[in-house]
Amino acid sequence: MNMENEILSLRKKLEEHNYNYYVLDNPTISDFEYDEMLKRLIKLEEENPQFADENSPTKRVGGAPLSEFEQVTHNVQMQSLGDVFSYDELIEFDQRVRQGLNGKEPEYVVEMKIDGLSVSLEYENGRFFRGSTRGDGNTGENITENLKTIKSIPLKLDCAAEYLEVRGEVYMPRKSFEEVNAEKSAAGEPLFANPRNAAAGSLRQLDSKITAKRKLDVFIFNIQSISEDSLKTHTDGLEWLSTLGFKVSPTRTVCKTMDEAYLEILKIGEMRPGLPFDIDGAVVKVNSLAQRAELGSTSKVPKWAIAYKFPAEQQETMVEDIIVQVGRTGVITPNAVLTPVKIAGSTVSRATLHNEDFIVAKDLKIGDKVLVQKAGDIIPEVVSVLKDKRTGAEQAFKMPTHCPACGEELFREEGEAALRCVSTNCPAQRMRSIIHFATRDAMDIEGLGEAVVDQLIDAGLIKTSADLFYLKKEDLLPLERFAEKSAQNLIDAIEKAKSNPLDRLLCALGIRLIGSRSAKAIAAHFKNIDNIMNATVEEVSEINDVGEKMAESLVHYFSEPETIELIKRMKAAGVNMVADEKKAGGALEGKTFVLTGTLPTLKRSEAQKIIEDNGGKVSGSVSKRTDFVVAGEEAGSKLDKAQSLGVMVITEEELLCMI
């Protein structure tokens, strides 16, 4: 066999094994045999670059990192779905469909609604050439190299169509999610909140080698466009895609009536806890493609499909104990220690109980059986106490009278639910204050997470956030987790933070009631830290976006001897204490913007900075005074309100064009 034939043969065999393993879930060779075959192909391709192929199985391990993602304009709009939550709403949808079809009988298909990220896959003459995110539905990001790492996506098709575009949902299996979070935990990194967030973060990696390690998967659920189309129904299309090697929607039940469809939805709901991936509902679609064309779409959603959203998954568990945690502002928060239970794809062993009033209202006791769910499928919360399962051995819980970290007496201000430690020497507050100081929205000191802060405090290297600016590389090297490079990286990140504008420092100090928006307003008004420290409550209250309680909190904070010493030491270390002087007459001068949804390339904080750097203002709510709403993927009620008020809605790309 000559070299070219061996390369072609290896590629074909590897793709067949990928299909058997990742689509059919029926491996035909061992992992070792597969790896040896892949290594052989990598070696041959490196030695024979004239036989290079962008869709070779070797490309699935990831390529060179990108500097940014290119924009992609979708040939067919990637619309979102309207949501329903009850049987009655399904019947209303059915009535609208029948009315739109002038009495013709619809046939429905019910599929699982995979909880992941929607993507477009495009093929020319059977070769995968581009994959992109949904973005705002019209414009997405080119993530082809990352999608190539998903082994259930075929890179070549035995397909006569000159052009084919399909839509699918990329997700992270629950097993992969647990593995990724275990690795992040061992490395002292923040954990992903849920598999969907993990999949989103993995797909938007500029380095596709990282994506390849995350073991993502995909289900294809629609044909967006095809050059030669003889298909009559949606299910015909999915069956055809399956023969081409695509991993299509795992359930696709055809139903003659909406009552049949509802029974199928209930079956899917019962399957939900045992699935190896997350779903958040079921999708009901008209099966006939001709009827779909007749029904059409609104500017946002198709009229021929609806998403039935399941309620948050709930599980029964036991409250083994209630412990309290001291926050950075001294608030004492009770937390339930639970018998570990799996909910929405991850193991839950803790749930916040908010405050004393919450415990009293629920009549919650240690030893109680409770129902727990994840609010928004993210934050664990106790929904209800199962009082009929009490045995009499349960114990009432009382909030402490003294701070568990420093022993000082706790106080509860009139009109507040929070119990608070007001000691300025509380070690727990100091630790959480330093952690907050380093976060992205504050001083953004990369590499200074909770584990590292804890280590620095234990080693006696820091007591306050000011001490960070006096650290030397030599101080870090004897510590676990630190080698030459990692120590230097942290010192460099701290040095970089010194030049942050004043508003970020104000936010980082963790002053009660003062967030990033009010910090910007205060910094812009007073210009430097000395003016702020000398300001009165009346002077601070005059600033827009700053109320009297916020002013009182600010003035009190800067009157404390500990604060004065903290600022003095930061000044001496060279930390910037002056506000950014924005140039008047920027391209967005005098314009008010609202941000909603997930933008294609920018984080919310980045978009806000761009707007403010160019003279604009960012508001948290839409009103008649709003000039523009910048909408991204999964924009919600703010987009609806903007449309109802006639406020102009723009994309991220249009925002960037404005400047």
- Known catalytic residues are 113
Q: Is the dihedral of CA 548, 549, 554, 555 positive or negative?
A: positive
Cα–Cα nearest to 69, from 196, 201, 205: 205
Which residues are paired to 595 by β-bridges? Answer: 630
Cα Rg, the chain, nearest whole Å: 28
In 49-194, alpha helices (H): 87-100, 144-148, 174-186
Give the HSE-up count for residue 405: Cα atoms under 13 Å, Cβ half-sphere: 23
Cα–Cα nearest to 532, from 578, 588, 576: 578
Cα–Cα nearest to 132, from 596, 655, 597, 601: 601
CB 521 within 8 A of CB 528: no
Edge-to-edge, what's the strand order for the sheet holding 117-124? 127-133, 117-124, 163-171, 217-226
Main-chain phi, psi angles of 656, to 5 degrees: -65, -35
List the structure tokens of 188. Answer: 């002292």
Residue position matching structure tokens 């339930």 = 336
CB 595 within 8 A of CB 608: yes
Q: How far is residue 20's CA from residue 17's CA, in Å, rounded to a whole number?
A: 5
Cα–Cα nearest to 628, from 613, 616, 612: 616
CB 20 within 8 A of CB 152: no
Concatenated DSSP letters of 519-566: HHHHHHHH-BHHHHHT--HHHHHTSTT--HHHHHHHHHHHHSHHHHHH
Which residues are paired to 113 by β-bridges? Answer: 281
Angstrom CA distances, 39 to 35, 55, 58, 644, 645, stand at 6, 16, 9, 58, 60
CB 218 within 8 A of CB 119: yes
Q: Kindly report the CA angle at 314 between 278 and 338, in degrees rounded to 5?
A: 105
Residue position matching structure tokens 């999949």 = 199
Would you give the DSSP letter of residue 288? B
Length of the chain: 659
List the structure tokens of 484. Answer: 């030459």
What element of type H or E holds 420? strand 419-421
Cα–Cα nearest to 250, from 229, 223, 277, 210: 277
Tally of CB atoms within 10 A around 596: 21
